[in-house]
Amino acid sequence: MVMKQLAALAGVVALALALLEPAAAAGLKFSSNDLKSEKLLWRLYERWGKRYNVARKPAEKLRRFATFNETAHRVASRVQVAGQAPGLNIFADVTNEEFSRNFLCHMTTEQRNLTARPPRRGGNGTLPLPVSVNWRNKTCEGQPCLGPVKFMGSCGSCWAFAATGALESHRAIAGANYDDPVLLSEQELVDCDPRSKGCKGGLAVNAFQYVMKNGLATSTSYPYTGVGNGTCHANTTTRASLIMRGFERLPPHDKFQLLSAVTYGPVAVSIAVTTQDDITDFMDYDGGMYRGKCGTTCNHAMLLVGYGADYYILKNSYGRYWGDEGYLFLPRDRNCGMLNRGGSYPLMGQA
């Protein structure tokens, strides 16, 4: 089982490294012509493999071709409705069952007794907020305010990525990236955070509590393996220069507080991205406004990095070959359960 996971991950890690290279826009565009014969479909599958640097063994490729065909047809008929050009992301030859087993993330129960701090902007929902906020295209001291989009692999560690994403960006916004940009270790959170369950799920607020107490390694000194076996190596790592003085938790069902918080920096949120019976909308997402179904139970964590008049911008942990270079545009009128739990974010700097 572990071997199988490791083998799967070897591909994922190779991919994750490739993801740091500057890449063309997400989504392999195709047309209905590509679906007209089996030969053309194979050609499209080859093109897809090249584009995303996915090398499958011949037998596996043959098996996955059927799934790829299914995805291509599904995507083509979906966008026909929406009137967009169809595009295939990195999950195009992954089955629904594999996706649901490997790429979602169980949110553990929230500890209600953490001390919530008063929101910074205050007000009662009538104070004016900026029309739009987008940390994705901002720079902090000449560096990007957000760390790169990462790939969580087949480990339910989305909560750890939401937490490091929040920490990396709040650290940058606080000015600490000036001569020392830092990427943080998700693997330490997976292995060492006693309140979360490693690859079986967790919560960003738990991770913030852990980091306040223990600090956190850089991702180079404690690299991501996407396997959690309960062995914590934190004490042999290089610790990142990171000073947290606390974290804030936002109340659930309060859109104003959420938007208000995003004006100060990204917020880790839980979200219900898939329904029980259909996960393909989220799995196939290739950019543009998300028109797919939402569920009711939070099964993913992401980082809210901005909003526009009618959408939210979220940073995911599926690499850059999913969505809009790794990001999701979610309509604000159907936020996929994002307000069901309050988001959370770290407060940087000395108390």
For the window 296-315, what string marks contact with ligand NAG as x by the rule CB under 6 A?
------------x-------
Q: Which stretch binds ligand NAG (CB under 6 A): 17-25, 82-90, 129-137, 251-259?
A: 129-137
Q: Is 316 a catalytic residue?
A: yes
Catalytic residue among 145, 155, 192, 300: 300
235, 276, 277, 333: residue in contact with ligand NAG (rule CB under 6 A): 235
Q: How many CB atoms lie within 10 A of CB 127?
A: 10
300 catalytically annotated = yes
Catalytic pick among 140, 145, 155, 158: 158
Does residue 109 interact with ligand NAG by CB under 6 A? no
Do the Cβ atoms of 307 and 262 come closer than 8 Å? yes
Q: Which of residues 24-53 bind ligand NAG (CB under 6 A)?
A: 38, 41
Angstrom CA distances, 10 to 6, 58, 106, 200, 335, stand at 6, 18, 23, 20, 34
- 193: which residues sit within 8 A by CB, 6+ positions away? 160, 202, 206, 207, 210
**Beta strand ranges found along the chain (DSSP E):** 28-29, 87-88, 133-134, 139-140, 143-144, 244-249, 267-271, 300-307, 311-315, 327-331, 344-348
**By rule CB under 6 A, what string of x and - marks binding of each residue 67-106 to ligand NAG?**
--xx--x---------------------------------
Quick one: the chain helix, strand, coil %, rounded to 5? 35, 15, 50
Closer Cβ to ligand NAG, 160 or 272, answer by number:
160
Which of 31, 32, 77, 132 lies at the binding interface for ligand NAG (CB under 6 A)? 132
Report the nearest approach of ligand NAG to the CB of residue 191 (Å). Answer: 8
Q: 203, 211, 90: which is closest to 157 by C-alpha?
A: 203
Nearer to ligand NAG, 114 or 174 (CB): 114
- Residue 14, number of CB atoms within 10 A of its CB: 13
Any catalytic annotation for residue 158?
yes
In the complex, which residues of this chain contact ligand NAG (CB under 6 A)? 38, 41, 66, 69-70, 73, 111, 113, 124, 126, 132, 134, 137, 229, 231, 235-236, 308
